[in-house]
Amino acid sequence: MATHNRTGRWGEDIALTYLEKKAYRILERNWHAGHKELDIIALDGNTLVIVEVKTRSGDDYEEPWQAVTSIKIKRIVQAANLYIRQKAIDAEVRFDIVSVVMRPDGQAEIDHIEDAFTAPLS
């Protein structure tokens, strides 16, 4: 497995544990449908939460959440719409970003942005 894949997997593991500690109920991890993918799908109370996880192995670059571009947002929303239709979900939906940065001491710094973006109208 490539280093960036291991780093991404590590970040998703950290994010998953973090969300579970916050009492989120995890429904799916790495859900795929064709080329569409969602990192984590969870319930926060009665709200369906689509979580995009961004991981970096250091803070030499942009903040991880800054990598969630408008193009990425459109893809996430399209995938979420497909998931909701397939599972016939009738719930409020929220899009969160969890940024995970690996510090030199091996510890993770987590930044959870709730309601990070809304679905574009077009």
CA 72-77-82 angle, 5° bins: 130
pTM: predicted TM-score of the whole model, two decimal places:
0.89
Question: What integer pLDDT is reported at residue 53 of this predicted model?
Answer: 95
Helix, strand and coil percent figures for the chain, each rounded to 5: 35, 40, 25
pLDDT tens for residues 39-78?
999 999 999 999 999 988 766 666 777 788 899 999 999 9
Confidence of residue 120 (pLDDT cuts 50, 70, 90): confident
CA 49-40-7 angle, 5° bins: 140
Backbone angles phi, psi at 20, to 5 degrees: -65, -40
Domains, the chain, with CATH or none:
3-117 (3.40.1350.10)
